[in-house]
Chain A
Amino acid sequence: MAPDVIFGVYIFLLAAFVGYQVISGVPPLLHTPLMSATNAISGISLVGSIVAAGAHYNAVSTALGFVAVTAATINVVGGFVITDRMLRMFKRKEKRRP
């Protein structure tokens, strides 16, 4: 097996463990914002789509890349906007809106 694949598996497993630890610490209160946040973050597949859309490998790749950039951008932008909108609503008692 190619060394960069082994390396990739290393990274995947370590990131999965870190993710498991970090996410276990998120209280149920914030589980919905967590979902939309991780969703925005996994919109990072945008970086793959960007190369497909801009490299002019062939017309099919460009077209698929364009749709993929659009779909991933919707997730990144929409995901962060809506996460922030939700998080702004969570207030303690003393800080409640007058």
Chain B
Amino acid sequence: MTASWVQLLYLAASVLFILGLRGLSSPETARRGMFLAEVGMLLAIVGTLLHRDIISYEWIIAGFIVGSAIGTAMGLLIPMTKMPERIALSHAFGGLAAALVGISEYYRHGVELGSVKMGAIGFECVLGALTFTGSLMAFGKLQGLLTGVPVTYRGQNTSNISLFVVTFVLLAVLIVDPGRSPLFYGMLGLGFLLGVLMVLPIGGADMPVVISLLNSYAGLAASATGFVLSNNVLIIAGALDGASGFVLSILMSRAMNRSFGNVIFGAFGSTAESAAVAAGPAAVGVNEGTDADAAAVLEAAQSLIVVPGYGMAVAQAQHAVRELTEILEQHGTSIKYAIHPVAGRMPGHMNVLLAEADVPYDQLFDLEHINDEFGKTDVALVVGANDVVNPAAKTNPGSPIYGMPVLNVEQARTVIVLKRSMSPGFAGIENELFVRPNTLMVFGDAKKTLTRVIQQLKG
């Protein structure tokens, strides 16, 4: 096959990728869209296998077999609750692949590299390495292998920025003189180190932003690979991935009231400081209730809005939530779910968990579409959410989360909060919602509490 045929296959693949992502604008068309993207991928791979430089296929096929086996097993076996971990790992693999191709190209050409190619390889390797270790760190934090608490030390930002500067100075020297291979491997090492240092100060609740950002970096690394290999489909697919991570980062940072610059430069220090404010429980004026109280309130309700948070994912309470709402629906209660953009550990986390539990997606509403409805609602049931329902974000300018868009749960006639204890959320701030007169606190594991409430309602 001639080179122009391969280029046409790549062009078709690029168009199919864009159409595939276009399909994701609605759940109705999403699966068809993904099918188009899969066809595009197949075309691109077939086209590449016909590349004139390829003289033997044994290592390619071996890689396909090992990769497909691991990929399929991971794809089919990973539980939905582990989705943030899986996404973090896949960013790591993407970064690794990009970095390795870059190293291979450098090793092969070294001194002969032109300055533009060298620059592209440098970007590819640094971004790839940084995405690899950064994503592994994120994985470790999500999985609980590393502490989810932000790790901070004096001079952290200064030393991180200095390392960035050193990395780019090395890259600049290499662009002028590509033959200095010790500098290349030093730069690569710094890339790996930077990934670790960047994610170290980031706490669990900031994970949606970090995961989106790493998504963007993985895409940019793939795009840089395209520049290195003069391969347009790589440039396009990488740009799409980069744009997606970029859009999600903006949305997530907006939902946490962070400036975009704050996200780009990864300066997550501010919330880490506020964690120190964490005080003991202020058990003044808390209306503590039992599951029987909660069941009575729910039984009398005409309308219910469920507000899930990370606590629901931790307790794996999504099935119990769905069972409860089904029973209430049979009693004629209207059911809605209010999903805050940063509830959970990654964009869309709550939607996936609820979909897994068979909650129909027409019951799931975004912040801006549901916030006016709390005032007209009998009961808001908060399952393991904290900062995203803290009214202090609207009323207390001194609060670290002041200005963050939150769900107006306190406007509901009664608020039931299922929570482990009075401990403050990630931001380390008291939640005045918990001491409001119309709030009923039910302490304990959300899944167990819900199961008991369901028994009360059934009996």
Contact = CB atoms under 8 A, between A and B. Distances in A.
Contact of A49 (B27, B97, B232): B97
A40 to B, nearest CB: 7
Given A28-B341, A44-B44, A68 B235 contact: no
Contacts of A54: 51, 53-57, 59-60
A39 to B, nearest CB: 5
Chain A, interface SS category: helix
A44 B83 CA distance: 22
Given A20-B243, A36-B90, A44-B233, A65 B59 contact: yes
Given A15-B235, A32-B87, A75-B97, A80 B244 contact: no
Contacts of B223: 12
Chain B, interface residues (CB within 8 Å), range: 35 or more
B71 A77 contact: yes
Contacts, number: 374
Given A33-B348, A87-B34, A78 B355 contact: no
A8 B235 contact: yes
Given A1-B116, A38-B240, A47-B233, A25 B363 contact: no
A20 to B, nearest CB: 5
B104 A61 contact: yes
Contacts of A30: 24, 27, 30, 348, 351
B240 A72 contact: no
Interface in B186-242: 211-212, 215, 218-219, 221-223, 225-242
Interface in B73-104: 74-76, 78, 80, 83, 86-87, 90-91, 93-94, 96-98, 100-101, 103-104
Contacts of A85: 75-76
A73 B63 CA distance: 7
Given A48-B229, A50-B48, A50-B51, A71 B18 contact: no
B248 A31 contact: yes
Given A47-B233, A55-B53, A75-B93, A82 B78 contact: yes
Pairs of residues from A and B, 10 with the lowest C-beta to C-beta distance, nearest first: A73-B67, A69-B63, A81-B75, A19-B243, A31-B348, A77-B71, A78-B71, A32-B348, A31-B347, A15-B239
Given A87-B27, A91-B360, A91-B361, 15 more contacts: A11-B232, A15-B14, A18-B18, A23-B244, A30-B348, A33-B24, A34-B24, A35-B211, A39-B94, A42-B94, A54-B51, A57-B53, A57-B108, A72-B97, A78-B90
